[in-house]
Amino acid sequence: MKIGCIQMNMRFGKVEENFERAEALIREAAQGGAEIIVLPEMWNSGYALEKLDVLADEHGERTQAFLAKLSHELGVHIVGGSVSTKEQDGFYNTMYTYNKDGEKVGEYNKVHLFRLMDEHLHLQAGSDMNRFQLGELEAAGVICYDIRFPEWLRAHALAGAKVIFVSAQWPTPRVDHWKTLLQARAIENQCFIIAVNRIANKKENFNGQSMIIEPWGDVLWVGGDEEELAIVDVDFSVVDEIRTRIPVYEDRRPSLYEGVVTTK
């Protein structure tokens, strides 16, 4: 299956420009043969958290209409990265996923808010998992900081996900963490990780390095430090083979993990 990864340079606070650029790249990916197209985190507004009252998508209505139209028109699945959304109780960082028939199959509010970027001061945290099907493919989606919580991604893998999509705005100073964590999540869950990061100018400090990693931890593709559209062929059938060869899921002892006391 061909995966289109859109390592996009969104404009800070420029919603109209970002929608235009995202559409152009989605159309280019579809024309290039991509069957699943993946966007980065908060692509509609960037991290303009103090301006969410005027920038965030009300109930996600514009984004949902946008993704539904393009997925149906182009006949592609779209993992819609995430966008800033506005609900009655506050603002969220929300991922929408649409199948190739233009049907919404996933909606997810980022669960783990990143304090170093003051997300907890501006956003509400979600509380639900994000599993969905794209055709016959069992999949899941998380957002950026979520990858530092292995138990969260494991929960999605245990529920059946064979690929976990990650949309991010991961900063340059911690790019080594990004790469290591993504490989670890792929290996320990014996699943594919398809992670799409943003790029930006040096002042904003985001340098891409999007990745596709197979269940053995081998990197199939890594992006550079400029805006990029990559179309990569991925064979998801190897997941079952690998899980059979090293039966990690059968050898788990969850009764020992539950209720373990943790301290700060």
Over residues 69-104, the pLDDT tens digits come to 999 999 999 999 999 999 999 999 999 999 999 999
Place of tokens 């996923």: 97
Pairing between β-strand 137-143 and β-strand 131-134 as defined by DSSP bridges: antiparallel
DSSP 8-state code for residue 104: E
The reported pLDDT for the residue numbered 89 is 94
263: pLDDT strictly greater than 60: no
* Angle 15-18-24 from CA coordinates, rounded to 5°: 145
Say if residue 201's pLDDT is above 70.
no
- Model confidence, pTM: 0.95
Give the pLDDT confidence score for residue 203 in this predicted structure.
Answer: 65
Name the residues annotated as catalytic.
Answer: 41, 110, 144
Does residue 61 register a pLDDT over 90?
yes
Predicted confidence at residue 36, as pLDDT, reads 98
Query: What mean pLDDT, rounded, does the chain reach?
Result: 94
| Distance between CA atoms of residues 129 and 142, nearest Å | 9
Region 227-237: what's the mean pLDDT?
96
Pick the residue with more confidence: 5 or 264? 5
Class of domain 2-256: alpha beta
Write down the pLDDT at residue 261: 58
Could you tell me the pLDDT band of residue 264, with boundaries at 50, 70 and 90?
Answer: low
Task: Render pLDDT for 111-166 as a digit per residue (tens, 0 to 9).
Answer: 999 998 889 999 999 999 999 999 999 999 999 999 999 999 999 999 999 999 99
DSSP states of 10-62: --TT-HHHHHHHHHHHHHHHHHTT-SEEE--TTTTT-S-GGGHHHHSEETTHH
Whole-number Å distance between alpha carbons of 47 and 147 = 19
